[in-house]
């Protein structure tokens, strides 16, 4: 029997389509199964029964945190200190911080310094406040950890997301600051110290240094988000507190420069030019009393005015005119943190 070519092609087409359909089903089955599992988990999480009581307007008037490790290049690399913050009323927040360097700059070998006066390890003191001018409440959620365990390799935890209020505000931010810090000048720098008629330049692979202290003020804006609540589930009360703060400040300061000791003589630094303006951008996170921060910008200070030959102009840009400091801070609450204030005794 002769078979029509069209019938044959039609049969091959159906067979091929059937194979493709089976192949597609094999591919789609695990995808659909995964989607169903995710939906089931999400639905199970959504079915978690709980009640939330918000405390975003009930903040600690005074809370104290300490930093055992802060990394900042404008002082010495490692500092420690204290952070005091508070909430005076619904619109006014304050902060005070003090940090002190306890290690000299280990990137600068002490035997490579040709100036021999004592090196400043660096000190930071600031006091400031935020005054809220715009505020709103929004709906958000917070992670509630119900249990956690460590099996020797992995940290395993059970948690769910609870709905809560998120308080957001914009504030006018300002305050005063004092920064004492060292300044090192290496042999490759186009800048050097001039004292009277003497040019004090470091020989190859050596350094000069001086100490400087800046007193100034700052002002700008701050934006903060606050989540503070008690979530009750299965007869347990879970306290949650998360706060983030972003700030942008203009800095204005006056800097004094200490004398140097060179070849046994005490000499003034005569070519220090004031650079009074600066700025900074920063973020701060407070998660249940662990306060982490990052900040960068340009600190007011001085620049050494020196005659620069044409072929050395490029060296000027080794000292970035727009960015000269960064810091990472890690504070830990030791007194009256928001995670406990007016929540610890709640039932």
pLDDT, block means (10 residues), the chain with 347 residues = 44 48 54 52 58 92 89 76 92 94 83 93 94 94 82 78 94 96 88 93 94 97 95 88 96 97 96 94 91 92 78 55 83 85 71
Which one, of 82, 87, 71, lies nearest residue 241 by Cα? 87
Read off the pTM.
0.78
206 and 172 housed in the same domain: yes
Q: pLDDT tens for residues 266-283?
A: 999 999 999 999 999 999
Q: Could you say which of 47, 65, 80 is where a domain stops?
A: 47
23 and 163 housed in the same domain: no
Distances (CA, A) of 335 to 59, 112, 164, 338: 13, 44, 25, 9
pLDDT value at position 266? 96
pLDDT value at position 250? 97
pLDDT value at position 25? 54
SS3 at position 249: strand
83 and 117 housed in the same domain: yes
10 and 138 housed in the same domain: no
Is 347 inside a domain boundary? no
Range of the domain at 180: 52-335
pLDDT value at position 76? 64
SS3 at position 17: helix
Which one, of 48, 111, 60, lies nearest residue 88 by Cα? 60
Structurally, the chain folds into a number of domains equal to 2
34 and 164 housed in the same domain: no
Is 346 inside a domain boundary? no
Strand partners, 290: 287, 332
114 and 186 housed in the same domain: yes
Q: What is the 8-class DSSP label of residue 266?
A: E
pLDDT value at position 47? 56
178 and 215 housed in the same domain: yes
pLDDT value at position 72? 81
Q: pLDDT tens for residues 271-315?
A: 999 999 999 999 999 988 889 999 999 999 998 988 865 445 555
- H or E element that contains 46: helix 5-46
76 and 215 housed in the same domain: yes
pLDDT value at position 155? 75
118 and 179 housed in the same domain: yes
219 and 315 housed in the same domain: yes
39 and 58 housed in the same domain: no
The greatest distance separating any two alpha carbons of the chain, rounded to the nearest whole angstrom, comes to 118
Is 277 inside a domain boundary? yes
C-alpha to C-alpha distance for 267 and 153, rounded to whole angstroms: 60
């Amino acid at each position: 029997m002769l078979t029509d070519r069209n019938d044959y092609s039609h049969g091959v087409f159906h067979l091929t389509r059937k194979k493709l359909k089976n192949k597609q089903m094999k591919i789609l089955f695990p995808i659909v199964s995964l989607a169903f599992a995710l939906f089931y988990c999400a639905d199970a999480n959504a079915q978690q029964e709980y009640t939330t009581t918000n405390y975003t307007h009930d903040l600690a008037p005074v809370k104290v945190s300490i930093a055992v490790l802060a990394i900042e290049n404008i002082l010495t690399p490692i500092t420690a200190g204290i952070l005091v913050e508070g909430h005076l009323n619904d619109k006014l927040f304050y902060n005070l911080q003090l940090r002190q360097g306890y290690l000299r700059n280990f990137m600068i070998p002490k035997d490579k310094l040709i100036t021999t006066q004592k090196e400043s390890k660096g000190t930071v003191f600031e006091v400031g406040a935020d005054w809220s001018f715009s505020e709103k409440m929004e709906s958000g959620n917070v992670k509630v950890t119900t249990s956690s365990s460590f099996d020797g390799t992995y940290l395993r935890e059970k948690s769910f997301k609870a709905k809560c209020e998120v308080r957001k505000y914009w504030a006018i931010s300002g305050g005063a600051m004092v920064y004492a810090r060292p300044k090192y000048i290496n042999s490759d720098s186009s800048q050097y110290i001039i004292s009277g008629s003497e040019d004090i330049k470091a020989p190859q692979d050596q350094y000069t240094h001086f100490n400087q202290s800046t007193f100034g003020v700052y002002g700008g804006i701050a934006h903060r988000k606050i989540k503070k609540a008690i979530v009750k589930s299965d007869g347990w009360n879970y306290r949650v507190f998360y706060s983030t703060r972003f700030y942008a400040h203009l800095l204005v300061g006056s800097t004094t420069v200490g004398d140097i000791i060179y070849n046994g003589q005490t000499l003034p630094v005569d070519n220090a030019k004031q650079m009074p303006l600066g700025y900074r951008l920063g973020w701060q996170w407070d998660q249940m009393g662990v306060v982490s921060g990052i900040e960068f910008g340009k600190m007011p200070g001085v620049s050494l005015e020196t005659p620069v030959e044409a072929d050395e102009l490029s060296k000027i840009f080794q000292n970035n005119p727009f960015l000269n400091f960064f810091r990472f801070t890690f504070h830990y609450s030791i007194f009256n943190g928001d995670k406990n204030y007016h929540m610890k005794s709640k039932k």
